[in-house]
Structure 1
């Protein structure tokens, strides 16, 4: 047993392969969100089957039961060593009346959040009105769009696929998602145009981007109208057609903020079918396009599963967060007592988020939203220097070492912050760290460095002992 095995949980690096190359690779992996490819199209054209084919495994739900709604789902994919994320937007069965608008809206969210788009059309059926509505939008997206003519299982159908040139999206790629025919060729073309890192994730300059999200009837439009009217300055609405996402520029406290995709949150949707699914896609789209989300919760009613789901979307997307408890004018002393209990019990996972109690109707405390937004964004942007981070971790680990696993105590070799937005830390260790211990480290990071209003990510890289690598 070498001296480094007995000196506690911080490593003597002479024993370990922890080269600059390893560190650089881990940082790059944690810091670089892979490019996003959205798969869009009408129900039953084979989107989920194509997604499964791209992934090389059965993950997407292939049989969609009419009326069953499902969130947009993201999967990690790899083709010829290139990582990317596939977004499957399928899973609803609206009536024919609302279909055209829903498919077009789905395409508009994909345009907003993806680096490239695969538009799936049933080559046997040919181009429908809904396909044409989506194609028109995609034509002017400025994103690479690949037209996948699916269900081409024979040469005869290949001739039908050629008719899809009429959609104006260039050459149709004949594929059979079910048999795998043509999918490799499609992926080769896709990889050629994909950026190595998602361009959607890069912040860009300009006003900070805010998503105003929450379950239906929680008061999103009232709050938006209150913020706009209070300052008398919706500067202007960007974009135009009914299905385009519309951003509102609103001045608050002398500073302009961009509220993303607010039209979708204000618009009344006539069709009930498909609407629930669509509202969820729209919420995802707004969160993905934002830097910080205000999650609006109705303080006068018990917390619901829908509230939890919206919060999970924000955390999974790694966005800064502000909790706004609306309708505070309807909260009496009894309700206040119950609400505190509900928050402790059901919102423990976001105890780090600033809370503001407001009333969009009366205007109560809406001015407190700006300092809360600024605080959350400041945390989201924070970087901790590597030296300070390692000193902090050494002290923590000396006082509370990681739990023993399989008779061995994992040790932490080195820690670095790979990226901000959200703060993401890479821990190089000699063994697996239990989830409970990771949560403990996150709590201590928050106590020491703040991070109020921002999720934190901790990636653990287990290193191997010298000579233990399989050659």
Structure 2
């Protein structure tokens, strides 16, 4: 990497790839012909009246996604418009949206009006659902009391298993129905164990290339000499944890040995110091990267920032030795920052002097901002309302003669925020960066990397990974 390395070419976890293995909440699509009570059932499951309900067919037209949970298991619930066959115009578009949702789901919740019985449309929809190879849970809706139980039994004739009698209006049988949905969901992937210190002090790693002033800053923050400081680069070799009171709260600061880019060539103590730095970063929640403004930004500075972004940790940039800056150097520094750090323009910047203590108090609000963004979760409903407007104003570019559609999205995780886009085709990197930029503009995320991934339905019932392999099911 040259002195003019531009971080805009660096890859990181905020560039989701279509074939990436990602853990995300499973998706349950609620489908059925018009006016069978799908939206009422959705409201019952999510525990609030969000889906529009009216006693006429065709009220719901678009796919609408909601966050839902049952027995501690979280999932994304997708409400769809009424599914009709042999229709044209708007009704056909609504039916197509429902079919998309079914193909994107992990489990299909098929709702039938038990008081009407099996219709030709129900049987036609079932034929399509079978082709998706997804598990189907059959909800026999409008069974408001024991007298209607016999109506539900007739739905065995659909051939998709046991009909679960339920009343979306009164809530009767909804618990048993959700138990059946949970039983059909894919097994939950085990979450990686990580140090959380729930309720304890937030963990901050002080990192940077050798001799940028990390130990001096730690001593300044602590108000005493806690670690050895020397002008010889590489004095600190161990990661040192210190509990420090700042801004009315306690922080756990991890001072680290300076990161050297060519660590494989290092010998002895320097090699192990670099390895311990990586461990310290893994233990941290937010990293303060120190940069020496008295020198030009170097390869090692860029590599340190890349390592933070790749680790998914929150980020604060601290420009140290600001007291040594003259006007000419400040002019060139701003140009270096614009050219080389453009990719992390979202990171808070603090101009400090560890030697004099200048503006070190500004680290606390910067840390709080970054950690707040790192912890942020956007509800699925709000996210999809925003995404619908964004895509309507700026659709994805055509790729290979076809325009990919974004079916819906969900936030899979926090720390850092991780978004999954369910699409009908591959989204170009420029468009994904556009979505990331707009996410930051409209929701903040200052100081936190964003991960953006795709789950792609190239053809009916199939998933195409970005690296060219084709799989017969959604990747989980």
Q: Which TM class, normalised by the smaller chain length? A: 0.5 to 0.7
Distance 1:254 1:451 in 2: 24
Give the SS at the match of 1:17.
helix
CA RMSD of aligned residues (A): 3.2
Residue 397 of structure 1 aligns with which residue? 391
Deviation string, structure 1 residues 340-370 (Cα, Å, up to 9, x no partner): 1000000011000000000000100000000
After TM superposition, give the deviation of residue 285 of structure 1 in Å.
Answer: 1.2
Unaligned runs of 5+ in 1: 24-194, 235-241
Give the SS at the match of 1:323.
strand
Q: Is the 8 A contact 1:383 1:423 kept in 2?
A: yes
Once the two structures are superposed, the pairs formed by residues 92-131 of structure 1 within 5 Å of their partners are none
After TM superposition, give the deviation of residue 18 of structure 1 in Å.
Answer: 4.2
Once the two structures are superposed, the pairs formed by residues 58-207 of structure 1 within 5 Å of their partners are 196-200=190-194, 202=196, 204-207=198-201
Unaligned runs of 5+ in 2: 1-86, 109-188, 228-235, 260-264, 464-471
Pair 1:13-2:98 in alignment:
yes
The change in CA–CA distance for 1:211 and 1:4 in structure 2 (over 3 A counts) is farther
2:418 aligned to which of 409, 416, 424: 424
Distance 1:392 1:305 in 2: 38
Residue 415 of structure 1 aligns with which residue? 409
Distance 2:240 2:226 in 1: 16
Give the SS at the match of 1:12.
helix
- Highest Rg: 1 or 2? 2
Distance 2:90 2:295 in 1: 57
Deviation string, structure 1 residues 188-240 (Cα, Å, up to 9, x no partner): xxxxxxx932212645330000000000000000000000017x999xxxxxx
Question: Which structure features the higher share of helix residues?
Answer: 1
Distance 1:387 1:263 in 2: 42
2:375 aligned to which of 376, 381, 386: 381
Q: Is the 8 A contact 1:328 1:359 kept in 2?
A: yes
Once the two structures are superposed, the pairs formed by residues 214-233 of structure 1 within 5 Å of their partners are 214-229=208-223
1:332 aligned to which of 326, 334, 340: 326
2:267 aligned to which of 273, 285, 300: 273
Residue 303 of structure 1 aligns with which residue? 297
Give the SS at the match of 2:402.
coil
Give the SS at the match of 2:420.
strand
The change in CA–CA distance for 1:244 and 1:363 in structure 2 (over 3 A counts) is closer
Residue 367 of structure 1 aligns with which residue? 361
After TM superposition, give the deviation of residue 14 of structure 1 in Å.
Answer: 2.3
Once the two structures are superposed, the pairs formed by residues 39-54 of structure 1 within 5 Å of their partners are none
The change in CA–CA distance for 1:357 and 1:19 in structure 2 (over 3 A counts) is same
After TM superposition, give the deviation of residue 430 of structure 1 in Å.
Answer: 0.3
The change in CA–CA distance for 1:19 and 1:354 in structure 2 (over 3 A counts) is same
Distance 1:422 1:369 in 2: 20
Distance 1:272 1:418 in 2: 39
TM-score normalised over the length of structure 1:
0.56
Distance 2:107 2:214 in 1: 46
Give the SS at the match of 1:259.
strand
2:346 aligned to which of 349, 352, 365: 352
After TM superposition, give the deviation of residue 12 of structure 1 in Å.
Answer: 1.4
2:278 aligned to which of 268, 275, 284: 284
The change in CA–CA distance for 1:366 and 1:467 in structure 2 (over 3 A counts) is closer
The change in CA–CA distance for 1:435 and 1:275 in structure 2 (over 3 A counts) is farther
1:210 aligned to which of 164, 179, 204: 204
The change in CA–CA distance for 1:397 and 1:2 in structure 2 (over 3 A counts) is farther
Distance 1:284 1:3 in 2: 58
Distance 2:258 2:294 in 1: 21
After TM superposition, give the deviation of residue 278 of structure 1 in Å.
Answer: 3.0
Give the SS at the match of 1:362.
coil
Q: Is the 8 A contact 2:208 2:258 kept in 1?
A: no
The change in CA–CA distance for 1:411 and 1:300 in structure 2 (over 3 A counts) is same
**Number of equivalences:** 286
Give the ranges of 4+ consecutive aligned residues of structure 1 lying more than 4 Å apart after TM superposition.
1-8, 242-245, 263-266, 467-471
Q: Is the 8 A contact 1:13 1:413 kept in 2?
A: no
